[in-house]
């Protein structure tokens, strides 16, 4: 997996990931697929926000949520 960046090391990012995975499980996906897709979606959201080092330092969990899909 090459998705994601250092901006994911922010408070609440893990909660966003857990919620993403839980929502995929609740939709009937297998645990394995939910884990794989959840990590991919989470990392992709962070990559959308990555406009440079300053953006990665200022990334917030709410920013990640807004860019999940």
Q: What is the pLDDT of residue 53?
A: 86
For residue 29, the enclosing domain spans 10-66
Q: What is the mean pLDDT of the chain?
A: 95
Number of domains in the chain: 1
Residue entry with tokens 């990334």 = 59
> Is the model's pLDDT at 55 over the cut of 90?
no
Give pLDDT, residue 69: 86
Overall average pLDDT of the 17-27 stretch = 98
pLDDT at 46: 96
- In order, the DSSP letters of 6-42 are GGGSSTTHHHHHHHHHHHHHHTT--HHHHHHHHHHHH
Give residues with Cβ within 8 angstroms of 38, minimum separation 6: 17, 20, 21, 24
Question: Is position 33 within any domain?
Answer: yes
In a domain, 60, yes or no: yes
The pLDDT score that the predictor gives to residue 43 is: 97
């Amino acid at each position: 997996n090459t998705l994601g960046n250092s901006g994911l090391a922010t408070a609440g990012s893990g909660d966003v990931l857990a919620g993403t995975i839980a929502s995929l499980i609740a939709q009937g996906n297998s645990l394995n697929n939910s884990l794989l897709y959840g990590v991919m979606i989470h990392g992709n959201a962070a990559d959308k926000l990555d406009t440079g080092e300053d953006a990665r330092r200022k990334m917030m969990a709410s920013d990640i949520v807004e860019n999940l899909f």
